[in-house]
Amino acid sequence: MSVVACPGCAAGPPAAAAAAGRLAAPVAPTHHLVLPRIHCAGCIRTVETTLTTVPGIRAARVNLTRRRAAITADPGADPGPWIRALAAAGVEAHEASEPGARLSGDLLPHLGVAGFAMMNVMLLSVAVWSGAADSTRDLLHWVSAAIALPATAFAAQPFFRNAWGALRVARLNMDVPISLAILLACGMSLFEVAFGGAHAWFDAALALTFFLLLGRVLDQRLRQAAKSAADDLAALEPSRVDRIEPAGRVSRPVAEIAIGDRLWLAAGGRVPVDATLLDGPVQIDRSFLTGESDPVTRHPGADLHAGEICLTGPITLRATAVGEDTTLRRISQLVATAEGARGRFRSLADRAAGIYTPMVHIVSALAFTGWLVATGDVRMALNVAIATLIITCPCALGLAVPAVAVAATSRLYRAGLLVKSDTALERLAGVGTVVFDKTGTLSQRTLLVPERASDAQRRVLRALADASSHPLCRRLAASLADTAPVALHGVCETAGQGVRAVWNGQPVSLGRDGPGAPDTVFVCGTRRFVLRSVETLLPDAAQAVAALHGMGLKTCMLTGDTAANAAEIAQSLGIGRVWAGVGPAQKVDLVTELRAGGETVLMVGDGLNDTAALAAAEASIAPGAALDASRNAADIVIVSGQLTKIAPAIAIARRARRRILQNFAIAASYNAIAIPVAVLGFATPLAAAIAMSTSSITVVMNALRGMRQ
């Protein structure tokens, strides 16, 4: 087992400052655009290529999962020209009022109308297929037209809008052949009905619309859980702070604070900007940077960082870094950059669509041209072209990934895991290395009950522990579960100090003796007990790591704790590689190095200092008890909190990937048979619609079959 301690972090406060300085590389996006209609890798390329040619824009990154573009531009730039440039490229864009704003989808009404109309038109078609002829057949066709035409005009609008946006700027996307097939099917059906033809294909147009909308809705369902962890980190910054001015303390917006300003902070407050401590000592919760829950003592002259919590006070500070230069903002930008990189992941469906879309146009055009030249019959050539477009329409391809993903995520949810990213399963299936945070993820600090405490004193200790929400107190209370608490009076909890109360007229307390005191002390009347703190493994940590090793996965540990503590925990779990004393920036660097070395990394962590690493990894998992920012940065949240769920999640993801590949094989086999049949004129548009529907249903059934096992 190798233990690597970060030399720069071993020195204490200066190391944290050095680590913070390394976070300055990402440039803060100045604007965000919402892109509600993008849905593939081609859209990403169009948006980024268009934006980078606009004067004043330095960089543009698209996050497909959140349908947003983060843009770095010159100060004071106007987003209006950007939106107009995207509109000219066929992409709808809106300026986001805030980084977290998102537009909701509107596909369900379209899906509902398509499904309802499809069922009714198919019922009418059954009568035609059963032998209805002459005036009866014509009447049924006209009733079908009355239902299908307005229903299709409404239900297919998402495809029409996207196709028109692409065509008017001379480019193609998957919605172009879809729209063409729907319009031709409706148009030719209306023509046949008007001139007393024997066949109409309104049901084909509706079935096409319904199955493709179903795929989009399933895909949208997976995207709705996505939330930016960078937004949560930004929310940790207080909006106002007391500035010390000649007239006294005045509450000011944090945006008005300048370097050199003197600030006043009460106990329990969060440090608003990077600053130097002017008085003290003070106890600081630095879990924001280190992940360790134990507070540290800082003395006058020490550096404090935005996001840290002042447990004792009040204190005065002098601002040393403000705005985008603070540690909190730098970490937020680091997370946003990692999220954007992951959001560019091209799914299997996107890669397949890049090949499939031009093929559909070419095959249909060749079929039309060939039949027109061979027969001179425009009507016949159009029927063959329509049948080819319908039979090759990417319904099965559009359902191949969403159907499996929804089935897999539903099973994971029933098992206590919440999947939050639409590409999470594909990425999770390929992981070969699992990187763990230590404290809070694999281990926890626990206070030991004094051996010499009497039964009455144990009951008092249980009551004091019950009165606090501190994690150490909660675990102490759990260890005293078989001890009945006494009734206390005058219970009072002070941040950073502990709990005090009165029992039988005597003062009792649980906490620290005073500011900077290292020990946790239990006082009961005249008796004083120093509670020892030990680090213990979480109950299922060993089983979870063993299960991963059993699957052939490698495990590592990244922690802000000391090398000695890290080595002890890693050795007890059989984890071979350990990096100790590392901060948020170093965790990202190490994850990036592992990936650059060819390893596919799954990051498991729960703290603020893990957030950027969670976003930078190939895939990521956070326990249900993790902080909001960590949960939102992760692809999967273990709602049940059991680490033993990680191995089954990877197994299900691998099974889902196999089912997706099987679905692609089904779609490819179907097209290999159906395309020649349609091109040679052996398939009417109606037969093409039935074949297309059959392939879509087969794909969905295969997805469900795979996830029931």
Sheet holding 296-298, edge to edge: 296-298, 282-285, 309-310
Gap between the Cα atoms of 487 and 479, Å rounded: 19
E strands, 369-488, in order: 417-419, 433-437, 443-447
Token pair, residue 453, equals 């405490």
Distance CA 632, CA 627 (A): 9
Contact 431, 553 (CB under 8 A): yes
Strands 601-604 and 433-437: parallel
Whether the CA torsion 65, 68, 69, 74 is positive or negative: it is negative
Binning the chain into helix, strand and coil, the percentages to the nearest 5 are: 50, 20, 30
Q: Which of 437, 561, 610, 635 is catalytic?
A: 437
Residue in the structure block whose two tokens are 């843009």: 71
For 533-623, where are the alpha helices, taking DSSP H only?
541-550, 563-573, 584-596, 611-616
How far apart are alpha carbons 497 and 437 in whole angstroms? Answer: 28
437 is catalytic: yes
| DSSP result, 602-641 | EEE--SGGGHHHHHHSSEEEEETTS-HHHHHHSSEEETT-
Cis status, amide bond into 99, omega within 30 of 0? no
HEC letters along 37-71:
CCCCHHHHHHHHHHHHCCCCEEEEEEECCCCEEEE
Question: For residue 437, which of 572, 249, 620, 647 has the smallest C-alpha distance?
Answer: 620
Place of tokens 């990417």: 394
List, by residue number, the catalytic residues: 437
